[in-house]
Structure 1
Amino acid sequence: MVQAQTTPNQKPDPLPAEKVKEFVGAGHNNLDKVKTLLAEFPTLVYCTWDWGGGDFETGLEGAGHVGNKEIANYLIEKGARTNLFVLTMLGKTQLVKAWLDAYPQYLFARGPHGYTLLHHANRGGEQAKELVDYLQHKGLKETRTTL
């Protein structure tokens, strides 16, 4: 593990950009690579990568929009900051409904690459089937929009 030496008021150097990009890419479908990179740089669990034009994504969000529950759950166990899109893919129906009751404007929110909550629910398979129906009933029809 690489650790920078710092004084109490000094921040360490930023993580290497190539490692951030590699980690976010691996978050989609390569659990072994995710584990290897986290062993070297544990704070990658919090990082985001801008794929261009403000299309930011975390490793967890990559797992979310491709429906990779194994990687998503692993990253959550490691402290990754989850969001409504990932919770939707994981089929966390009570949490998603409560969130949308409190903030109904999120129904039409756009995640990484413009993927909607409906896309994430579809990727969640049987666990998220109730959310697919719920989101469509609420009026969400699009699975992807432009950012």
Structure 2
Amino acid sequence: METKPVIAAEQVKEFVGNAHGDLNRVRELLDQEPGLLNAAWDWGGGDWETALGAAAHMGRRDIALFLLERGARIDLFAAAMLGKLEIVRALLADNPARKDALGPHGIPLLVHAQAGGEEASEVVNFLQQLG
């Protein structure tokens, strides 16, 4: 296995932080360091967050889609925000307890779906039906 250089912690923090709302800066940082794509920042106490996770709970569809186009690994929370009902259904069918899973900052799955607006309304309805 090839050893890769460690990405500076401040770069990871800046990348994840900007993924909450600044697509242009996310582009710039990813162009400078492609390894940031799936990097995660620990905000403390095990509150790990990737750039995709940041975009997901902020409802930043544009940032999330950009990251996915570049190869980011989709997760349940991003799928919910993006309105990807079949992915959400499949993951919850595999493990129904995931409906109560918490994402970055302890934000519930339903809140991620609600952040997706109209495009995620079917996911919101599905999750609400699950109770």
TM-score, normalised via structure 1 length: 0.86
Classify 1:12/1:102 alpha carbon distance in 2 versus 1 (closer, same or farther; 3 Å): closer
Structure-to-structure mapping, 1:31-70, within 5 angstroms: 31-70=23-62
Pick one of 96, 113, 120 that aligns with 2:112.
120
Separation of aligned partners in 1, 2:17 and 2:27: 13
Q: What is the CA distance between 1:99 and its match in structure 2?
A: 1.5
- Where does residue 15 of structure 1 map in the other structure? 7
Per the alignment, residue 136 of structure 1 pairs with 128
Q: Deviations over 1:41-82 (max 9, x none)?
A: 101001000000000000011000000000000000011111
Could you state the TM-score of these two structures normalised by the residue count of structure 2? 0.96
Structure 2: which amino acid aligns with 1:42? P
Amino acid at match of 2:69: E
Instruction: Give every structure 1 segment of 4 or more consecutive aligned residues whose post-TM-superposition deviation is greater than 4 Å.
Output: none
Report the Cα distance in structure 2 between the residues aligned to 1:121 and 1:56, rounded to whole angstroms: 19
Which whole-Å CA distance do the structure 2 matches of 1:106 and 1:70 have between them?
A: 25
- The 1-side partners of 2:64 and 2:38 are apart by 13
Q: Distance in 2 between matches of 1:128 and 1:19?
A: 31
User: 1:49 is paired with a residue of what secondary structure?
Assistant: strand
Deviation, structure 1 residue 13:
2.6
Determine which structure has the larger helix proportion and give its number: 2
Gaps in structure 2 of 5+ consecutive residues? none
Quickly say closer, same or farther: Cα 1:10–1:84, change in 2 above 3 A.
closer
Segments of 5+ residues of structure 1 without an aligned counterpart are: 1-8, 140-147
Q: Note the alpha carbon deviations across 1:18-44, whole angstroms, 9 max, x for none.
A: 000000001111111111111111010
What does residue 110 of structure 1 align with? 102
- The aligned counterpart of 1:5 is none
Alignment match, 1:144: none
